[in-house]
Structure 1
Amino acid sequence: MLGGERRHETAVETNGAEETRALGERLAALLRAGDLVMLSGDLGAGKTTLAQGVGAAMGVRGRVCSPTFIIARVHPALTGGPDLIHVDAYRLDSLEEVDALDLDSSMADSVTVVEWGRHKVEALSPDRLEIVITRPRGGAIGASGARSAVTDPAGAEDGRRAVTITAIGPRWAGVDLTRLRA
């Protein structure tokens, strides 16, 4: 336990945008109203692609796309489930700016997915999923997450992603994250 928090994690590899969306769909099956999901990774890593899979499986209205300039977008549920709140915290510089979004007022009734939320939104909930998406950069990612040399630089961006999902808090204590592996 880090800092007294209960946590466990799993690692998943995806090959291309469709597999990343499918992972988001499997993730949505574990989510319920009140859940906070934080997505981290470099630009183009697949954060929004994963969020698209979550939104598709939740049956929400509207196209889930990067909310960079809007910052937060509510996607109402069409199927009686919770709404999806999709946030891009990239342009937010302080906790005060996060507080100004008033996310905590709607969290209980929604699933909240925050891109670029690390060190910005952890205070919203002691129970959360922290998902880190990485891609090869100058090296291929193997099943263990270790990098190996690339002999063909043109193949360095082949769509593969290593996704680490860390569940934090009592809400996730009994949830089997290995179900997220395809």
Structure 2
Amino acid sequence: MTRKFLFCFPLRVGNIIFGYIVILIAIATAAFHLYQLGLNVTNNYYEKDGKFRNFENLESIFGSTRDSLESIIVLTYYLSYIAIGLMLFLFAIMFTCGAYRANYCLVTTFFVYSFFHLFFTIILIVWEALTAGWIQLGLIALSDLLLIVCLFSVKYLMEAIRTGNIYSHPGEVYYKY
């Protein structure tokens, strides 16, 4: 066993497994919020949900169109979660393919997107703090913390691909462009 195998093989396999986990989380997030959006659109469910009713004095700001404003807020809320979930899904697929094929460009693309994703979720953290959605606030904070921790292994994978110190099967060609 060479040092190259002992260090880089678990690094590569670990990142592939991390990619599959991120794919599952992204699909679950987008699917759940798509379901919630469907409930709100078909049944006027947002009228029954107290989560979006704690904004005080909306009548004085927006007049009599408060109901339409609440429906727009609810739709924007769920659509933002769906958009972030789908974007994370697409970039996680790119990352998993990049880790599997040792493609530096795809892994770097996920690395860069991760920072944008963290900035996207800052808006959702503020939103959840304002609406007192403590469970979702905790889940967002936990997922961001997990993403930050996992970015270190992605950084090491990028370095291993760039320098050519990555485990590959005999005859396998990897793409480090």
**TM-score under structure 2 length normalisation:** 0.22
From the two aligned structures, give the one with the greater helix fraction.
2
Max radius of gyration: which structure?
Answer: 2
**TM-score under structure 1 length normalisation:** 0.22
